[in-house]
A and B are shown apart, each in its own frame.
Chain A
Amino acid sequence: MTDSTESPDLQRRSGLTRLKEGTYGGFFAVCAAITLLTTVAIIATLLSDAVVFFSQVPITEFLTSTSWSPNPRGGGQTFGIVALVIGTLTVTITAGFVALPVGTLTAIYLSEYATPNARSILKPMLEILAGIPTVVYGYFALVYITPALKATLFPGMSTFNALSASLMVGIMTIPMVSSISEDAMSSVPDDLRQAGYGLGATKFEVSTGIVVPASISGIASSYILAVSRAIGETMIVVVAMGAQARMPAVRDGLLGIPYINPADTLLESGMTITVAMVQIAGGDLTGGTIPYDAMFALGLTLFVVTLVMNVLSDIIAERYREEY
């Protein structure tokens, strides 16, 4: 090149080269478009059948009725999502009680206390928790956790129950909380920590008083993601929680204030939105029946809820992030 006296025309390329470039570029663009098409296809599939469902069952009945019995063989069908929502909330809240504190403490330990060596061992091991197939967790809950709890703490527990399923969902979501929170904590600049130490703060005070508040947006977004994961969790709940949609008994407490005993839902079998979908899918799949369409209505509900939570988590992580 250096020898040439005239400046070469760098842009000139043979027709074959240009054709090749265009073909490959086009192929890549088409593949990228498939991801967008997937979203469109999910929304279209869910909507097309959900619309049919809501033309048969009024949306107010779907959202307020407390009885769920799809009854694929016909007769006495009711489609009320409330009982399913209560089942889902039971699992999500109980799992949250496990995953959120444990995950946050893990993140603090990994980011503030652990030596590089300990971190390099602990982090991949925590990732294993998220990599175990969920049907295996469900099996663990049914076959090991429930008998263990029955033998020790709750003798009256039923074989299929919400508690052991929720505990497993909680353990599964720990790495989700810990890894995102730890990323947020690690990105807190060291100056802030040093400033804290300079003012005489202990490591505990620096961790809880400086690092955690400074990374609170990341922690919050990790919580939302973990909760959204717990809402969509299927196999653990299907295997270990059973499939009986039920409303918890409302009891009269002190001064006649009604309350719900958590044991009524936790130690009994129940049904989440995801279990309801799987139960219908286990029966009839050819389409055209109301239960089939109901499945898509439930899927749409699940999709909207998890999408809103993910977008929320994104917004929190973006907007409330402290800029350094």
Chain B
Amino acid sequence: MATDTDTARGEGFGEVSRVRGIVFEYLSLGASVLGIFALAVLLIYVTIDAFDLANADPLWLLTYFLTLVVPFLGFCLYSARDPALTRRAVAVAGGGLVAVAAVFTAIEAFVGEVPRLNWQLTYLFVAVIPLTGYLTYMGARGRPGSVGFGLIGRLIGGTAIGLAFTVLFLVFDERLWFLAYTLGIVPALLAYAYGQLRDTPAAVTAALPVSILGVLLAVFAREALRTYPTTAFIYLWTLAIPIAAAGAVVVNGRGSRTAALTAGGVPLALAAAVGLFGRAAGLGVGGPNALVVIAVTGVPVAVYLHRVFDAGDGLTGLGLPVLLAAGALAGALVVETFGIPTPSPWVSETFLTEAPSRTASEAGLYPAIVGSVIIIAMVAVLSFVLGVATSVFLEEYTADSGVVGGLTRLLQINIANLAAIPSVVYGLLGLGLFANFLGLGFGTAVTVSLTLSLLILPITIISAQEAIRSVPDDLRRGSDAMGATRWQTTKNVVLPEAFPGILTGTILALGRAIGETAPLIMVGAATTVFSPPSSLFSKFSAMPMQIYAWANFPQAEFRYGVVAAGVITLLIILIGMNGTAILLRNRAEEGH
């Protein structure tokens, strides 16, 4: 080894240079944070541009800092209940203010002006945001904090998923879904439930064929039937009622029957009332979409509230949404009363709900967001099914030796190589195979989804395999010893244990799919579409495609405004997805 030659000249013993070691240690530390630091600076600038913070009045920042950030930090400290942490937080907030102001002024005086930054913004990004992140983490460990963040997470997540559902029905035929649900899924669920309750395995086995038969029947009936219930009623029957029933079953499993009825019934009644009669009653909101959003948000919130009240601990945490809403309102009120000039952020309601435009102030991302949601939904289903099935086959159904073993190794090597193929090449596959050879169309949702599914399939498989491999062999042996077949062991033992890991891996892989651009260009996805797609075979765009298109615009409002807003929207969605994945993983790890 290398040490042999080093020790051969042992006369240097006792004259070891410490400087070299220290320099090297700090050099490598610097290297570790170099990339992170560069990315952080870029993200700060893109945030400033997207929210127009460079033009924000310092008083405006101060107002919201006092009404929104300080109460939130106070809540986190209250939840953590750690006097030492409180002292440290105050020291960082106060000392950071002095230090940032001093250093920033010194830099401006001696080095030169820093573009689009002032010391208030620097304080915000260097001290306040990291402090908020850290205190959120510490606060979530306390009971009130975990209750509050759990509630906020369900409110935001439920709204996002509800909106995603409504977006999906832009391309998927809700009447076909209504028939498939009524003729396929409901009978199958009934058969399954009957089989479980009466202990008749035949009924359970029949569930899958029944559902397939029902769906096929629905496809034919869709052609023949002419009259359908209204969209709101379809949503109520196919989405709101099953979600409410699922919530009620969960609460019922924890004990109380009346609580179960309330947890399922109240959100359902609210959703039905607003959805069916909201518009007529002049509430300003209403219609089928509101029904879906209220049901998807309300039921998990109700179930969660029941759990919190049942535990009877950390109830103050439930005030967090009120605290934040009141803070935002108070801030807006102060800004309004004193006439403080407000910045005009590029990420705004119009940006998220309008179509792209040649004028920067009217440009919007809505059709691209719809496109991305549809692709992600289809890619999620395809890659999850294929990924789980393949990894189950590789981990549970193959042998290590013989012909089968050789074939397994070949598959394994092949998957590793597929993961390293550049994404443009997958684009060519999509273009040659799906668009031209199979005739699925250039840049349609189907072509893009199939291409992206194949692209992330290797990553999904590799992470699912890891999750399945981490299931202890004892459990499998135990199941085998009870006389279970291989499929029964897989279904009852392996998959439930591995499920959180598989889900985490799939969501992380989907994060990759949502940001991919090159394959979309290769299969001919449109850079700009002005209306959301109406079917799976219509031309459509996605968020990264729209960003790519806008980045080519030479005007400064686009370069530093609209594109920055698009980037921030994309990154927020990515952070939301990856954050969910990491939470799921942590939750699963805590459970063991």
Contact = CB atoms under 8 A, between A and B. Distances in A.
A35 B414 CA distance: 8
Contacts of B541: none
Interface in B367-395: 385-386, 389-390, 392-394
Interface in B409-457: 410-411, 413-418, 420-429, 431-433, 435-437, 442, 454, 457
Nearest to B483: A10
A254 interface: no
Contacts of B454: 38
A210 B2 contact: yes
A278 B574 contact: no
A231 B422 CA distance: 8
Contacts of B548: 135, 138, 235, 238-239
Contacts of B457: 34-35, 38
Interface stretch (B39-47, B59-67, B93-101, B288-296): B39-47
Interface residues of A, number: 98
Contacts of B24: 204, 207-208
B403 interface: no
Contact of A34 (B390, B416, B426, B433): B390
Interface string A106-146: 10111001100000001001101101111110111011100
Interface stretch (A54-62, A70-78, A193-201, A259-267): A193-201
Contacts of B417: 39, 307, 310-311
Interface residues of B, number: 95
A143 B563 contact: yes
Nearest to B512: A131
A284 to B, nearest CB: 10
Contacts of B442: 285
B433 A285 contact: no
Contacts of B436: 286-287
Interface string B196-226: 0000001001000000000000000000000
B422 A214 contact: no
Interface in A300-317: 302-303, 306-307, 310-311, 314
Contacts of B325: none
Given A36-B411, A41-B433, A105-B31, A20 B487 contact: yes
Given A29-B397, A234-B422, 16 more contacts: A10-B483, A25-B393, A36-B414, A41-B433, A42-B428, A102-B31, A113-B25, A122-B33, A125-B36, A129-B35, A135-B548, A209-B6, A228-B420, A234-B424, A277-B522, A302-B422
Interface of A: 10, 13, 16-17, 20-21, 24-25, 27-29, 31-32, 34-36, 38-39, 41-42, 45-46, 48-49, 101-102, 105-106, 108-110, 113-114, 122, 125-126, 128-129, 131-136, 138-140, 142-144, 171, 174-175, 178, 192, 195-196, 199-205, 207-210, 213-214, 225, 228-229, 231-235, 238-239, 274, 277-278, 281-282, 285-287, 295-296, 299, 302-303, 306-307, 310-311, 314
Interface of B: 1-3, 6-7, 10, 13, 16, 18, 20-21, 24-25, 27-36, 38-39, 42, 45-46, 202, 205, 385-386, 389-390, 392-394, 397, 410-411, 413-418, 420-429, 431-433, 435-437, 442, 454, 457-458, 461, 483, 485-487, 490, 508, 511-512, 514-518, 521-522, 524, 544, 547-548, 551, 559-560, 563, 567, 570-571, 574, 578
6 contacts: A35-B457, A38-B454, A106-B32, A131-B578, A232-B421, A307-B417
- Closest 7 interchain pairs by CB? A232-B422, A133-B515, A45-B432, A105-B31, A31-B389, A28-B393, A109-B28
